[in-house]
A and B are shown apart, each in its own frame.
Chain A
Amino acid sequence: MELQLQAAKQQGNFQLELELKVSGERIGVFGPSGSGKSTLVNLLAGLARPDRGSILLDGKTLFDGTAGVNVAPDQRRIAMVFQQHALFPHLTVRKNLLYGYQRCPATERRIELAEVAEVLEIGDLMGQMPDTLSGGQSQRVALGRAILASPRLLLMDEPLSALDDDLRYRIIPYLKLVSERFKIPFMFISHSLVEMRLMADQVAVLEKGALTAVMTPEELARQRMGQSPAGYINLLELGVPQEKQGLLAYPWAGGELLLSSNAGAERGMFELSSKDIILCKRHPDAISARNLLPCTVRSLFETGSKIGVELDCKGGILVAEIVPDAARELDITPGGIIWAAIKASAFRRL
């Protein structure tokens, strides 16, 4: 997918002036509320008209202010997934799913109902009405409905914000799976950095109606470490654990990590804040933290008043944050060896 957008739009007091050029299959749009994310979505979908500018998707003009081109929303083949599902309440799940499918020109159709139902595990819901579905089921149906329109681009506007934490991270694998399996490029709009890192390859960062940068989610996360009260969030994929002295030992990067037993005894994605990693210059004889890992310092980066330390623990990468004074005392330099101490209770399952 290749998107070239140059658009200006005035809405009340809000002014959007955007120039965005991205190509890729998994694009993120990140920004706080009021940064223009929703306006961008509406401009792309054709639900709002730019005051001036042009929008090109894969070389095809969707809007051109000077040439007077404005392709109608129903002709753009850009499907949307909303925060509030927006399932048609008067239609069964099956009819919801087929709404876009039936309106897609037969020559453009390349995705079939049975396949989508299988991937999203919604085959048993076909005859139900939307108001009988749970939040997670509704969002899967909404996703399936968008996919079945065989869109050229899938716009996901904060699709996970209405779900609670637990559910949110169970939907993400479906989102990724669907776009990979059916090869549909997507644009994922969110104010959550963790979602960005899980979903996008490239992130366009918006602020006050303008584009501030296009970067990888990892770069964005490191840049934001200093400002965020939660620090940098390490995302760790941990294997199936074994019980060990009342804790759970998860295999990770050639070694293991000990987590509190309430973490749940199955594989999964966990988060660990950079603030919860303590660095020691030498091996402490005894320490209450249950994880003590020898690491090699890969790099250092500065953000705000903090210093981020990228650690290589037998192939597993962790980012810890420390204040400049500590960096001096510990004499941290790339290539040096250091010990990272992490409490078993510091991990949180996504």
Chain B
Amino acid sequence: MAEPHRPLPTALIMPGNVRGGQVISLVEITGSIGGKVDAPKLADEMGADIAVLLPVLDAAEMLGLVRTEKGDVHLTELGLKFQKTSKNKLKMLKDRIAGIEPFRTALELASKGRPITASQVADSLNEIGLKWHYQPEMNESLIRTLLIHWAIYAGLLRYDGKSGKFQKA
């Protein structure tokens, strides 16, 4: 008998093209202009196209750093703390990042003690219909990049480039 499918994700999903550094810049720039700004002006201040800004904004909102209201971007209380800390900012968000895909699944797989590959994470997410790209190779590559750029910075995972495997930090 086939294993029952895991419930479809109502999960938070990190956009494949967003990096931690972009979220940090967004929060720092919003903070430097008073903590409230409309999205087109924010894009202008960041020297970014609005199409580039929107997924970064989604990620920042998902992490609880900003909220958007009628086109305005507001820093939350956490966003203000995040802006002011000079320490590793993404480590501050460790728990929140751990709840977002593909990090949630990667951590779940890695918690079994064995090093895991991006391909295993992709397969597991595929089972619940979660993909970042329709081509399997690109999907795996995007997941690997997300894990490297977020989960290592946040101190959730370690990565060995020689074997291409991740381990719980």
Whether both chains belong to one complex is answered with: no
Chain A residues in contact with chain B, CB under 8 A? none
Chain B residues in contact with chain A, CB under 8 A? none
